[in-house]
């Protein structure tokens, strides 16, 4: 849906009323935290109700057509570099006639954690000032046919490996956000363990590398969930009418209430901006508010096996942190890394990934010299500020850019 059309919808459609109805639907099926479904036949009804409510918001595009590079306006072309059933690797390339044919490139690994990758639009915009960007745009599982097969946590890692190989790991800066930090670290490590080229740099931002440290409310909830019970109470099957009909998913209409519960202040700010600021502001500010509302509502279904794998491996058994994780039968060995420059970034106020959880990667990457490692904790920054808004632009991005510019591949 084009922005103008979406803006017209938003002018007459109150997204918060739709979100409230969707949350009511989720509570009716499985009150948060999840309870056993005594009426499974209601799943399809509430699923379709939620989907129709979200469709009124539309799925916002990135709408990035240009960027300022050293004071010059440079055109940006968005294409699909690699198309797979579960993920499209989007390429944001700057005009080679201006920046050169051999422009630097970043692989930006978006999390598969309930929101669409468009939530990282601010991240992409800032990075484009000095590099081309390749972004993992995860598909809504409702749109992936059953014939495409399963997609678990191992498949996530293997897909990142493929992207790194095809982009050329030796000249690639990898940035992973939130949930994607764990599979990104695994993918980079597996390439090194196999004797292949290492990524030039790896930046991990606000992720649960070691969820044992400073556990948050989300961590504690993930640990407390008995997986067979969760499978029975929170996993459903995509109904007829969607390309992914028959696929088992952790549905967006159950994720949304938990997102709101985790950050009610964010929901309140969006509501206040939409109801009170938008009618009184200029057109450009109104478009920004419309975009923020649509992005926050852009949730997606996750493949059931991926959701359950992540809970088991990362939060319950904590295999990556213990050094006992294997992917596709091969041990994940971060200690094999020798050349990759490692940067970890945490937010002081992050209540999704607790203090020390991301920095724990340094304790796993013991083969890297200290000169090629750095850890940064950003004062006054919450989880979303690590990749969006003013905190990202003014505090986090300068650190990332400086680190990438200062680190060169070792001979």
**Is 235 within 8 Å of 311 (Cβ atoms)?**
no
Question: How is residue 136 written in tokens?
Answer: 């993992």
pLDDT digits (tens, 9 = 90+) for 60-95: 789 899 999 988 899 999 999 999 999 999 999 999
With 70 as the cut, is the pLDDT of residue 291 above it? no
Contact 358, 204 (CB under 8 A): yes
Given pLDDT bands bounded at 50, 70 and 90, which one contains residue 114? confident
pLDDT digits (tens, 9 = 90+) for 3-22: 444 444 444 445 445 545 55
Instruction: Please give the DSSP secondary-structure letter assigned to residue 25.
Output: H
Looking at residue 37, its pLDDT comes to 44
Collapsed DSSP state (helix, strand, coil) of residue 80: strand
H/E stretch holding 347 reads: strand 341-347
Strands 72-83, 66-69: parallel, antiparallel or unpaired by DSSP?
A: antiparallel
Q: Is the pLDDT of residue 294 over 80?
A: no
CA distances from 74 to 8, 16, 61, 97, 225 (A): 30, 37, 20, 9, 49
Could you give the CA distance from residue 35 to residue 234 in angstroms, rounded to a whole number?
A: 8
CA atoms within 13 A on the CB side of 290: 26
Q: What is the pLDDT of residue 30?
A: 45
Higher pLDDT, 354 or 252: 354
Question: Which residues, 6+ apart, have CB-to-CB distance to 400 below 8 Å?
Answer: 127, 175, 203, 343, 345
Prediction pTM value: 0.86
- Average the pLDDT over each of 63-67, 98-102, 314-318, 343-347 and give the range with the smallest value: 98-102
| pLDDT (mean) for 26-48 | 56
What average pLDDT score do residues 345-351 get? 96
Provide the edge-to-edge strand list for the sheet that holds 248-250: 236-237, 248-250, 302-303
Element spanning 191, H or E: helix 181-193
DSSP state of 140: P
Q: How confident is the model at residue 258 (pLDDT cuts 50, 70, 90)?
A: low
What is the percent of the chain with per-residue pLDDT over 70, rounded to a whole number? 81
Quote the DSSP letter at residue 55: H
Is residue 251 a contact partner of residue 145, using CB atoms and an 8 Å limit? no
> If you average pLDDT over residues 143-151, what whole number do you get?
97
Residue 252: which region, alpha, beta or left (left: phi > 0; alpha: psi -120 to 50)? alpha
Task: Report the pLDDT value the prediction gives residue 57, as an integer from 0 to 100.
Answer: 66
CA dihedral 61, 297, 11, 268 (to 10 degrees): -130
Joined tokens for residue 58: 């539309």
Does the structure show a pLDDT above 70 at 137? yes
Q: Is the pLDDT of residue 155 over 90?
A: yes
* pLDDT of 44 above 70: yes
- Residue 280: what pLDDT? 79
DSSP structure string for 275-332: IIIGGGS-HHHHHHHHHHHHHHT-B--EEHHHHHHHIIIIIIS-HHHHT--EETTEE-
184 and 202 in contact (C-beta within 8 Å)? Answer: yes
237 beta partners: 248
Average model confidence (pLDDT) for the chain?
86
* In the predicted structure, residue 158 carries a pLDDT above the cut 90: yes
* Mean pLDDT to the nearest integer, 324-329: 96
Tokens of 331: 């041990």
| Lowest mean per-residue pLDDT among 110-114, 178-182, 358-362 | 110-114
How confident is the model over 178-206, as a mean pLDDT?
Answer: 97
Whole-number pLDDT of residue 270: 66
Mean pLDDT to the nearest integer, 364-390: 95
Angle at CA of residue 82, ends 78 and 86, nearest 5°? 105
pLDDT for the residue 398? 97
Residue 371, helix vs strand vs coil: helix
Do residues 340 and 371 make contact, with C-beta atoms less than 8 angstroms apart? no
Strands 201-205 vs 172-177: parallel, antiparallel or unpaired: parallel
For 223-252, the pLDDT digits (tens) are 988 899 888 878 989 999 999 999 999 988
Q: How far apart are CA 121 and CA 63, in angstroms?
A: 9
28 pLDDT more than 60 = no
pLDDT in tens, 159-180: 999 999 999 999 999 999 999 9
Q: Answer whether the bond into residue 33 is a cis peptide, omega within 30°.
A: yes
Longest dimension (CA), the chain: 63
User: Is the Cβ–Cβ distance between 105 and 171 less than 8 Å?
Assistant: yes
Helix, strand, coil fractions of the chain, as percent rounded to 5: 50, 20, 35
Q: How confident is the model at residue 35 (pLDDT cuts 50, 70, 90)?
A: very low
Among 119-128, 187-196, 286-295, the minimum mean pLDDT is found in 286-295
């Amino acid at each position: 849906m084009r922005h103008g059309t979406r803006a017209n919808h938003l002018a007459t459609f109150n997204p918060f009323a739709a979100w409230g109805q969707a949350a009511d639907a989720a509570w009716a099926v499985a009150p948060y935290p999840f309870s056993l479904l005594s009426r499974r036949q209601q799943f399809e009804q509430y699923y379709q109700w939620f989907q129709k409510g979200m469709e009124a918001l539309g799925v916002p595009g990135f709408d990035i057509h240009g960027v300022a590079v050293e004071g010059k306006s440079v055109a940006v072309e968005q294409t699909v570099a690699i198309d797979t059933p579960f993920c499209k690797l989007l390429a944001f390339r700057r005009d080679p006639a201006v920046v050169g044919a051999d422009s630097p490139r970043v692989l930006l690994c978006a999390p598969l954690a309930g929101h669409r990758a468009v939530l990282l639009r601010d991240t992409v915009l800032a990075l484009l000032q000095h590099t081309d960007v390749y972004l993992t745009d995860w598909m809504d599982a409702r749109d992936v046919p059953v014939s495409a097969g399963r997609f678990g946590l191992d498949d996530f890692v293997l897909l990142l490996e493929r992207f790194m190989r095809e982009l050329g790991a030796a000249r690639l800066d990898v940035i992973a956000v939130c949930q994607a930090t764990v599979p990104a670290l695994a993918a980079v490590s597996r390439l090194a363990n196999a004797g292949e080229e290492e990524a030039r740099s790896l930046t991990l931002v606000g992720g649960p590398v070691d969820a044992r440290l400073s556990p948050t409310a989300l961590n504690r909830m993930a640990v407390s969930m008995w997986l067979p019970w969760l499978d029975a109470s929170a996993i459903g099957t995509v109904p007829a009418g969607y390309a992914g009909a028959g696929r088992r998913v952790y549905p967006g209409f159950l994720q949304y209430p938990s997102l709101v519960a985790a950050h009610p202040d964010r929901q309140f700010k969006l509501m206040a901006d939409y109801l009170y600021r938008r009618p009184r502001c200029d057109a450009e500010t109104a478009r920004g508010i419309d975009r923020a509302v649509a992005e926050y509502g852009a949730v997606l279904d996750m493949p059931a096996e991926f959701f359950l794998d992540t809970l088991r491996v990362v939060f319950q058994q904590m295999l990556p942190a213990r050094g006992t994780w294997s992917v596709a039968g091969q041990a994940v060995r971060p200690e094999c890394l020798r050349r990759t420059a490692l940067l970890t970034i945490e937010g002081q106020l992050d209540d999704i990934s607790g203090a020390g959880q991301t920095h724990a990667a340094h304790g796993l990457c013991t083969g890297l010299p200290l000169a090629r490692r750095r850890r940064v904790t950003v004062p006054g920054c919450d989880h979303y500020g690590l990749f969006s808004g003013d905190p990202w632009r003014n505090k986090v991005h300068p650190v990332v850019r400086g680190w990438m510019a200062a680190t060169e591949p070792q001979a």
